Amino acid sequence: MGRFIGRVAISFLICMALSGVSVRAQEVTKDKVGRVDRSYNEPLPVFKGLERAWGQGDAEKISRLLGGNKILLDMKGIGRKGGYFSRSQARFLFKRMFKTAAPKKFKFTKYHNLDKPGRRVYGVARRSYKNVRSGRLFQDTVYVTLCREGRGWVVSEIKTTR
């Protein structure tokens, strides 16, 4: 029975590939608390996921894209000087940032080293946000670096121009 299900699954994937439907390159696992964690085998889906999560102001989704090692954050709006933070610390800083700097737009404009698997990959994004207190709109440039962790890609650095 198990072999039959395996063959059906393989046949399904082959049909999907032949029909032109894109199958996302990611591995789905569960973390210690049972939450679904996606380990992306390609860097571009990480950038796209970060773009969506940041645009929605979703600190939880952003934290899922961060690696298990400490991440370098040096950004306007996090309320402290830059440094290395754990995933949970980064989630807290993003939550606090989104309360004071409401995201209006976050869009990647350039990617570097996507085709060079042995190197760090980075993207450049334009960010627009509204200061909740003053109501003023601001724009800056965000630099995001990805690195390999295990078989997948994770966010390792986020910096903004000051």
Per-residue pLDDT reduced to its tens digit, 40-80: 688 999 999 999 999 999 999 999 999 889 999 999 877 76
- Give the DSSP per-residue string, 105-146: EEEEEEEESTT-TTS-EEEEEEEEEEETTT--EEEEEEEEEE
Share of the chain above pLDDT 70, in %: 73
Q: Tell me the whole-structure pTM to 2 decimals.
A: 0.74
Q: Average per-residue pLDDT in the chain? A: 80
Can you list the domains of the chain with their CATH numbers?
Answer: 42-160 (3.10.450.50)
**Residue range 27-39, pLDDT digits in tens:** 444 444 433 345 5
Tokens of 94: 């993003």
pLDDT in tens, 72-119: 999 987 776 789 999 999 999 999 999 999 999 999 999 999 888 677
Question: Under a CB-based contact definition with an 8 Å cutoff, are residues 139 and 125 in contact?
Answer: no
